[in-house]
Amino acid sequence: MQEVTGSTPVPPNVINCMIKINGKDFDYKKGYSCLDYLKDSKDFSAENFFAFEKNNFLFDLSREIEDSSIITLVDFYLQKGREIFWHSTSHLLAMAVKIFIKEIKGDDKYVKLAIGPSIESGFYYDFEFIDYKFSENEIAKIEDIMAKLVQENIQFKRVEIKKEELLKKYKELGEKFKVELVENIESENLTYYENYSKRFDYRFVDLCRGPHLPSTGYIKHFKLLSSAGAYWRGDEKKEMLTRIYGISFPEKSMLENHLIKIEEASKRDHRILGKKLNIYNIFDQSGPGLVFWNINGGIIRDIIERFWKDEHLKRGYKLVITPHISKANLWKTSGHYDFYKENMYIFKIDDEEYVLKPMNCPLHILLYQTKLHSYKDLPVKFAELGTVYRYERSGTLHGLLRVRGFTQDDGHIFCTPQQLKDEIEKVYDFAVFMIQKFGYKKFDVELSTMDINFKDKYAGTLEEWEFAQNSLKDILFKKGIEFKEMPGEAVFYGPKIDIKLEDAIGRKWQGPTIQFDFNLPRRFNVTFVDKDNKEHYVYMIHRALLGSLERFIGGLIENYAGKFPLWLSPVQIAILTISNNSVDYANNIGKIFYEKNIRYKIDDGNEKINNKIKRCEEENIPFMLIVGKKESDENKVSVRIKGKGDVGKKSIEEFLKLFYENL
């Protein structure tokens, strides 16, 4: 990214040093765009930049620079640059699909356009095919059309238009989804982008506020990855669409590296490994987004929950359990009923409304209010592995990562203003301890703050926000933690710290979150009696160290590719018999492990030992002990370690030493 600085304007046509790019001055030229300046420069390649930013707004490079405002060029190494690159490629995909259908059916009306956003890693576009059954095998043909459109180097042309005019245009084209989108936009002045291909004699238009790449020629390396079904606007009651996913990069090596990561990620897919390793299931008969923990998943959860509870008790938390349902009035008081109703399950008992709890905080407040608290009682710390339920549209559900019922490792701290910094620091240290225990060594920290330009959107006073935000910053500064401030990303009730975990192949996962709350203490009148014998509002901290256990375990499966560390493996040792005459010896070894709380299993079937070993390898069991007549006579075991193979014969004492060294 290069920075562009401006100077005070003087009469038109010549403005000396109006723009400075990477230390190089440019004379102002009336009607010149950023792209023009870059093309005139021998020091820059125009293909490295996609848009420019001015006063926190993004613009096409082709837009004229009209004044001396400071502008910043955007490239692929910025997140906003990647979003522009990928969104422009989604337009290219849509244009290619339109041309593809026109060539087959003789008219492009047999495919309707929905939406095509950039996503975290790439893009997609949703289509409705009319009287045509789209097959994933046809993706290669669409890629070929896209490649030809790239070769044409077609301009992304921005067109300003009145809402009614664009609405009329889309109605004439029969683009019903675009009609719906336009009708829901309040502004009377809209924009669309147009691309015209001479090669195919086809003009493509798409509703979009932009910005976009200057032309299709920028999209040098791309790949369409897959197709899937998706409901319009994620609503299963609406049309089923075909979603095509893709990725694109300005450099070939970037694409190659990304495809390697995708291949590695597919090997780690928790949805496949979760079933293969008997960790979890989701049954159609029960309903989507509802998780059944299978035999190994039940053990993994139990290990995590026991560890979680022990560590919380060490730190002064009180473990609580709250009901799964409560009266709707509770959620009206909290504000969730008004602002979160579409995500809540609401039903009636004896003509009174009840809610399946979508979160635990209001219920913890009720427990806090069972007595009047003095400042001497604080902080009060409640923790709960509370199962909550949220309505997620079917199209958004994804294995363990996006479900309708999940267990949250919830915690709430009620403290005085003076205790706030100390308690948040303790929570931060606790969070880092937890994630490192589960093998995450790299993580990013984000501080979400309020947008001062929209302060009416937030609960609490400006002074309280400044105090809370500065408290969080001070803690991060004190600990020497690098963090990225995210203005406008705070929730309405307070600022927060988010920790993003980096897994074994460099992907980011949502990790611990520490949130400050101005809202609920006021709504529920949550107070304490201070030294002045008057009641004051408590300061309330929400925190989740693992988040949803479902999502966390899904992430662990993928991080470890199903090969859990020894302490977390549902079966730590498999004892494999070579023949029937070693079964009693295997059982005696098992008794030793049982007494030491070591998780083991015995395979004393009549299969060949190689088949037993292969099955244990597939189940990712860390240790295998092979016992036959020789081992029994010598009172030893032949030891195999996952990933290392045979490490020789050892006595039980020698093996236990090896086991605990690896624990």
pLDDT tens digits for range 482-535: 999 998 888 888 899 999 999 988 888 889 999 988 889 999 999 999 999 999
408 is catalytic: yes
Q: For the chain, what percent of residues have pLDDT higher than 90?
A: 75
Query: Given this model, what pLDDT does residue 42 score?
Result: 72
In whole angstroms, what is the distance from residue 115 CA to residue 207 CA?
9
In whole angstroms, what is the distance from residue 86 CA to residue 45 CA?
20
Q: Which of 412, 507, 612, 636 is flagged as catalytic? A: 412
Q: Which of 301, 496, 612, 640 is flagged as catalytic? A: 496
pLDDT exceeds 50 at position 161 = yes
- Kindly write down the DSSP assignment for every residue of 413-481, as one continuous string: EEE-GGGHHHHHHHHHHHHHHHHHHTT--EEEEEEEE--GGGGGGSSS-HHHHHHHHHHHHHHHHHTT-
pLDDT exceeds 60 at position 18 = no
Burial of 283 (0-12, 13-18, 19+ CB in 10 A): exposed
496 is catalytic: yes
Q: Which of 91, 158, 258, 390 is flagged as catalytic? A: 390
- Is-contact 140 167, C-beta < 8 A? no
User: Which residue shows structure tokens 């956003």?
Assistant: 117
b/e for 598-631, b at 16 or more Cβ within 10 A? bebbbbbeeeebeebbeebeebbbbbbbbbbeeb
What is the tens place of the pLDDT at every residue in 265-320?
A: 899 999 999 999 999 999 999 999 999 999 999 999 999 999 999 999 999 999 99
Instruction: Count the alpha carbons within 13 Å of 480 in the hemisphere toward its beta carbon.
Output: 0
Q: Which of 410, 498, 503, 604 is flagged as catalytic? A: 410
pLDDT exceeds 90 at position 55 = no
Question: Cα dihedral sign for 305, 310, 316, 322?
Answer: positive
Query: Given this model, what pLDDT does residue 57 score?
Result: 85
- Whole-Å CA distances, 141 to 227, 242, 259: 14, 16, 19
pLDDT exceeds 80 at position 73 = yes
b/e for 636-661, b at 16 or more Cβ within 10 A? bbbbbebeeeeeeebeeeebeeebee
Question: Cα dihedral sign for 309, 311, 314, 316?
Answer: negative
Backbone φ and ψ for 117, nearest 5 degrees, come out as -85, 165
Closest C-alpha to 211, from 66, 61, 330, 54: 61
Residue 121 pLDDT class (50, 70, 90 cuts): confident
What is the tens place of the pLDDT at every residue in 94-112?
A: 999 999 999 999 999 999 9
410 is catalytic: yes
Give domain limits for the chain.
Answer: 3-75, 81-267, 288-322+358-560, 323-356, 571-662
Burial of 496 (0-12, 13-18, 19+ CB in 10 A): buried
pTM of the model: 0.82
Query: Given this model, what pLDDT does residue 216 score?
Result: 96
Q: Which of 393, 542, 543, 551 is flagged as catalytic? A: 542
Give the mean model confidence (pLDDT) for residues 184-203. 94
Query: Given this model, what pLDDT does residue 17 score?
Result: 38
Output the CATH code of domain 571-662.
3.40.50.800
Give the mean model confidence (pLDDT) for residues 327-342. 89
In whole angstroms, what is the distance from residue 325 CA to residue 275 CA?
30
In whole angstroms, what is the distance from residue 568 CA to residue 620 CA?
12
In whole angstroms, what is the distance from residue 93 CA to residue 147 CA?
10
Nearby residues of 130 by Cβ (< 8 Å), 6 or more positions away: 109, 110, 111, 112
More confident residue, 73 or 418: 418
In whole angstroms, what is the distance from residue 572 CA to residue 566 CA?
6
In whole angstroms, what is the distance from residue 389 CA to residue 331 CA?
14
In whole angstroms, what is the distance from residue 173 CA to residue 157 CA?
19
Strand residue runs (E) in 13-107:
19-21, 24-26, 49-54, 57-60, 71-75
Q: Which of 47-51, 185-189, 572-576 has the lowest mean pLDDT?
A: 47-51
**How far apart are the two ends of the chain, measured CA to CA in Å?**
47
Longest dimension (CA), the chain: 101
Q: Provide the 10 A C-beta neighbour count for residue 5.
A: 15
CATH of 81-267 given 3.40.190.10, 3.60.15.10, 3.30.980.10, 3.90.580.10? 3.30.980.10
Tokens of 392: 């997620």
Residue 69 pLDDT class (50, 70, 90 cuts): low
What is the chain's mean pLDDT, rounded? 90
Distance, CA of 292 to chain centre:
22
What is the tens place of the pLDDT at every residue in 205-264?
A: 999 999 999 999 999 999 999 998 888 988 778 899 999 999 999 999 999 999 999 999
What is the tens place of the pLDDT at every residue in 538-569?
A: 999 999 999 899 999 999 999 999 999 999 99
pLDDT exceeds 60 at position 421 = yes
412 is catalytic: yes
- Is-contact 381 413, C-beta < 8 A? yes
User: Which residue shows structure tokens 């984000």?
Assistant: 446
Closest C-alpha to 152, from 200, 223, 207, 80: 200
What is the tens place of the pLDDT at every residue in 589-635?
A: 999 999 999 999 999 999 999 999 999 999 999 999 999 999 999 99
- Whole-Å CA distances, 265 to 14, 255, 503: 55, 15, 11
- Is-contact 16 5, C-beta < 8 A? no
Tokens of 301: 């959860």
Query: Given this model, what pLDDT does residue 287 score?
Result: 92
Q: In what order do the strands lie in the sheet with 49-54?
A: 24-26, 19-21, 3-5, 71-75, 49-54, 57-60
More confident residue, 413 or 42: 413
In whole angstroms, what is the distance from residue 609 CA to residue 600 CA?
17
Give the mean model confidence (pLDDT) for residues 366-372. 97
**DSSP assignment, residue 378?**
P
Relative orientation angle of helices 420-437 and 462-478, to the nearest 10 degrees: 50
- Give the torsion through C-alpha atoms of 308, 310, 311, 314, to 10 deg: 150
- Is-contact 166 175, C-beta < 8 A? no
**DSSP assignment, residue 303?**
H
Closest C-alpha to 195, from 207, 205, 186: 205
**Assigned CATH topology for domain 288-322+358-560:** BirA Bifunctional Protein; domain 2 (3.30.930)
Query: Given this model, what pLDDT does residue 563 score?
Result: 96
Q: Which of 408, 419, 469, 572 is flagged as catalytic? A: 408
517 is catalytic: no
In whole angstroms, what is the distance from residue 446 CA to residue 123 CA?
24
In whole angstroms, what is the distance from residue 324 CA to residue 339 CA?
20
